[in-house]
Amino acid sequence: MKNKKLLIAILGLGLATTLTNCQNTTASQGNDGDTENKTANEHLTMAVLYQQQAAEYRALCYQAFNIAQMRVEESTKMLGGMKPKAVIMDIDETVLDNSPYEAKCILDSVSYPTAWDKWMYKADAKPVPGALAFVKFVEEMGMQVYYVSNRKDKYRKETLQNLKDMKFPFASDDHLLLKTDQSSKRERWDQVLQKNMVILMIGDNLNDFSEVFEKKTVDGRFEVTDSLKSEFGKRFIVLPNAMYGEWENAFYEYDFSKTPAEKKSLRHQHLIGF
């Protein structure tokens, strides 16, 4: 009963909301000099290589979007009333792949936000495997896709151009909701829900699905995840992202002022050995 009440509270008008993703979560890395940055970035190497070079990563993405497509197909049997059906998607590491930026940080021994503007203005991020085909499928089914991202609104022009260049449907101002004065996406999702029946949410961060995950400890995130386990693969589709996210920020207690050495120590403290 407790889990049912929690799920109802999250779903609200039809689907759980809230997320907070995007590269601003990597502000946890800091920038304290070349030597410290080399140490701070080294832990990213395997994560970036996994995203760029592991066929398993690609398979996980295809798997996620295959499930998402099945859910969209199933939704055609649902009565939607007067509202059109829609899917809400995050952008970074869900629609567009930013691993080249993370790789650049490693190779140049710098940390976010160094060169982030340059990467954004380049507007050349490639599609996450399976994302483009999925969005096109949603369009073919007569449904809508809304891109809700915590990219800053100052990158709107470049983000739209990037989506258009990669041939993504719905690359328009009315389908792109970026961060303005707050990170919480609740208000933006409410805007979508006012005119649409949201059938699915897709993201790489648990904050992409509900505010109940926000600012939780590692154990707290596990607890909420376990309580909502039946929703993953059903209403919530998760993409893999080992490079950054709230999972990492939880180690640091969401304190981005910590030094690279302090963050390294906290990461080690969370390792489980034998």
pLDDT at 81 over 80: no
Please tell me the distance from the alpha carbon of residue 7 to that of residue 10, in angstroms, as a whole number. 5
6, 170 contact by CB (below 8 A): no
Residue 62 is encoded by which pair of tokens? Answer: 């295809």
- Calculate what percentage of the chain has a pLDDT beyond 70: 85
pLDDT at 55 over 60: yes
pLDDT at 119: 99
Give the CATH superfamily of 2-269.
HAD superfamily/HAD-like (3.40.50.1000)
pLDDT at 19: 35
Residue 226 is encoded by which pair of tokens? Answer: 């376990």
pLDDT tens profile 157-187 = 999 999 999 999 999 999 999 998 888 888 9
Task: Using only the alpha carbons of the chain, give its radius of gyration.
Answer: 18
pLDDT at 8: 45
81-85, 98-102, 152-156, 218-222: least confident range: 81-85
Please tell me the distance from the alpha carbon of residue 137 to that of residue 140, in angstroms, as a whole number. 5
235, 200 contact by CB (below 8 A): yes
pLDDT at 148 over 80: yes
Say which residue the tokens 């009315």 belong to: 174
**DSSP string covering 133-178, please?**
HHHHHHHHTT-EEEEEEEEEGGGHHHHHHHHHHTT-TT-SGGGEEE
pLDDT tens profile 248-274 = 999 999 999 999 999 999 999 999 999
Query: For the chain, where are the E strands, in sequence order?
Result: 85-89, 96-97, 126-127, 144-152, 176-179, 197-203, 236-238
- Its pTM stands at 0.88
pLDDT at 156: 98
Beta sheet of 176-179, edge-to-edge order: 176-179, 144-152, 85-89, 197-203, 236-238
Q: Residue 144 burial by CB count (10 A; 0-12/13-18/19+): exposed, middle or buried? A: buried
CA 33 centroid distance within chain: 29
pLDDT band at 79 (very low <50, low <70, confident <90, very high): confident
List the domain boundaries for the chain.
2-269
pLDDT at 78: 84
> Which of 249 and 7 is assigned the larger pLDDT?
249
